[in-house]
Structure 1
Amino acid sequence: MRIVFMGSPDYAVKILDELNKRYEIAAVYTQPDKPVGRKKVLTPTPVKKYALEKNLEVYTPVTLKDDNTIENLKPDFIVVAAYGLLLPEKILNIAPCINLHASLLPKYRGASPIQSAILNGDEYTGVTAMLMDKGLDTGDILSWDYTEVGRKTSIDLFNELAVIAAKQTPFVIDNFSKIKPLKQIDALASYSPKIKKSDGYVTFESALIIDRKYRAFQPWPGIYCERFKINEMELIDTDSSNNEGEILEIGDGVVIGCKKGKIRLIKIQVPGKKEINAVDYANGKRLKVGDNIISS
């Protein structure tokens, strides 16, 4: 069985690794190297790193419009997991294209399904194996599996769903001829947009919203308010009424009131400075219980 694999992040690596143990990987497609960090060092995707370590053929095109390589490789299946490019129709017609999308489709089509599940307080999320078509995550469903969201962060869910997808993919490939694809109900579809840095901005209006953003936006873009980035925090409650930004307690962290609910700041980072404990920040600013951490 010859597989062309397309993916970019760590989520895709676990799937590729499982496929590489079972089938012949004809080629790997991933996003081009991108500048990372302040020094803008060109860095390969996790999938490219894995492929090079395993001596797999790797391609990093900016677009697939003029690609003729895949057809010449004569794959039995094309497996896609968080690749980052839409596949043109000519590639979709080469072989069955199976996408491992990290949501329970038709919910959260698009770029950020895991973050959207956390932000919206969903009880469950999962992975859908989908037969790709010309639309954005609109293809027929081949298989799915689910897990509880609970108090998990996006990092937790990415790792958990990658394991689920890695088990799900060989099942779909091995049983492809027996599976009857299920059409998605477009009327039930929702869309998850690409995450922007500005999405990490929070106010002290709702502790629930802060907590969901904190868990959803790990490791990027994180969350921040007017004065600092919140690197580590805990949700205390979601129902109490308080003055926004008021310091309620300084001890094991700094407890901050929200219009609805309370959070405990543990580690913060002022722009241009190193991460510090929230208690040290409060002491350095000579803040006390009753002061406002935003306006003081």
Structure 2
Amino acid sequence: MAFAIFAVGNTEFRFVVKNEMNGNTTLFITIATGLVTVGAGLLAALVVLLAPGYRRALEPAGLALVLQAIIERSLSGMPIWDHVSAFTWISFFAIFYAIAFALERDFLRSAGLKMTYHARATRKLNATPAAIWAAIAPSQETMRSYWTGSLTRVDARPDWGPEAYEVHFRLGAFGTLVQRHVRTIWDWPHRFSYDYAPVDDVPRRAGVRGRCKAELAKVSDDQVEVATEDEIIELGFGTWSLLWLDDSAQSDLDALQARLSGRRDWSIAGWSARKMAMA
């Protein structure tokens, strides 16, 4: 998304064209800017599709190019800027990437900055309500069909309260995420809502608590409208921004749609799920 700023980064290119070419250059500038924008967009799309783990580098790359362009245009009369363009971009990229990396570590959360991520998404899917329920409702009956492929255990825990469950997710090659789920609505196969929180309740798990809701409305014999709502509390800014940039709720439905239709899953959510499940 932010990588489209790449086009703005060609300010110095347009500046040179305007000052060194004769005649009407408006059309040439428009075409050149359009080509750069399309090229940058395609490059960003390829990174997201083929190497999604590096998508966080797109924003620093675009911002670094913009800052480089502003400085070079402002100081274009100084000969030194004719020789250090690559160096300045690399320097700015390193600075912005370091800032993004630090924010993603959520150190501001330790200082008291906690945010709530709230997302809604709706999609019409060609599947039955029972098939969709089996893919998105975590329960003992759906461990094999749950869409992330990482659900490994669901145990009723009446000692925690009514409708309370201990839910285990595979977390990479050796880890396990254990959550406490409390179901507030569980109406198969129409709607559900549950609150979740980490069982171990340590600071590093503080981002995995919130509420998950879904409603399934049958549109026709082979089509269902799915409406989801996610609320995640006590997030640091880095995690919050990554969820927002990834449009996580829509990405989850992209992954679900691919799974139900048997197509290859190109979504960020699907990639994250495969990493979590080691699939």
TM-score by length of 2: 0.21
Please say which structure displays the higher CA radius of gyration: 2
Which structure carries more helix by proportion?
2
TM-score by length of 1: 0.20
Compare relative contact order (CA 8 Å, sep 6+) and give the higher one, 1 or 2. 2
